[in-house]
Amino acid sequence: MQSLGRHVLAEVYGCQFEVLNDIKKVEELMINAALEAGAEIREFVFHKFSPQGVSGVVVISESHLAIHTWPELGYAAVDVFTCGDKVNPWDACNYLADMFGAEYVNASEVKRGIMDCQEERLVVNI
């Protein structure tokens, strides 16, 4: 497969309620995480839920960072997808875990890309 990008999916546990429930703080940290990884920011949008929680996305030239928070559980689902080799998605994830005061992170990386015609394909019909 020709790799076009790296997609890190992170489950971030034991985070500080006050941080995960503050839309301005989450927005600031997500933007800083993109910059920390070396990305070029294009746009961003965030939404505060009632009674708690924040969701948002930072669109970068290299793809995106997304987050959904459950402050009452101290949990955040973080998604960092970067294309090319100049931006490291792990830098963004590690930065966010540190800034959220996370106790534990379970993360995995998926290589995104185009399959070679010779590769076996899994087709899922829905």
64 is catalytic: no
Which one of the listed residues 68, 93, 108, 117 is annotated catalytic?
68
For residue 122, give the 3-state DSSP assignment.
coil
Distance in angstroms (rounded) separating the CA atoms of residues 74 and 78: 13
68 is catalytic: yes
Which one of the listed residues 15, 63, 64, 93 is annotated catalytic?
63
For residue 14, give the 3-state DSSP assignment.
coil
Q: How many residues can be counted in the chain?
A: 126
Which one of the listed residues 7, 15, 64, 83 is annotated catalytic?
83
47 is catalytic: no
Looking at residue 102, the DSSP 8-state letter turns out to be: -
Would you please indicate which residues are annotated as catalytic (active-site) residues?
63, 68, 83
